[in-house]
Amino acid sequence: MSRRSRRRLLVPGAEQGLNAFKANVMRGEGYEVDPSRPDDVKYEVARSLGVPLQAGDNGRLRTEEAGRVGGKIGGTMVREMIRLAQAQLTEQPSKEP
C-alpha cells in the first residue's frame, strides 16, 4: 500500500523554488535532473548507490536503503543551504550597537 506524503511547505508557493533548488544542487553533484520533474532524481541516485528503487511499489525496499537515497539528496541540499547562509552572513555588513 502506498502512502501519500503529508508534508506541506510552510510558505505557500515555495514548492517551485524548492524544486528548482533541488534540481540545481543535484545537477551540481553530477546527476541528470529534469527541471520539470526534480523528484525523479531519486531513481538515478538510487541506481548510483546500488539501491533497487523503482517507480511504483517498493514494499520490499529496506528502510536503510530508502534512507541512503533520501539522505544523499536531503544531506546534499542541507549542506548547500548552510554554505549559502554562511556566504550571505559574511557578505552582510556588521551592525555595531
Question: Which pLDDT tens digit goes with each residue over 4-33?
Answer: 566 677 888 888 898 899 999 999 999 999
Residue spans of the domains in the chain: they are: 15-91
How many Cβ atoms are within 10 Å of 23's Cβ, its own excluded?
19
8 A C-beta contact, residue 43 and residue 54: yes
8 A C-beta contact, residue 39 and residue 26: no
Question: Which pLDDT tens digit goes with each residue over 30-49?
Answer: 999 988 888 899 999 999 99
Local confidence band at 1 (pLDDT 50, 70, 90 cut-offs)? very low
Question: Which pLDDT tens digit goes with each residue over 48-84?
Answer: 999 999 888 888 999 999 999 999 999 999 999 999 9
Q: What pTM does this model have? A: 0.75
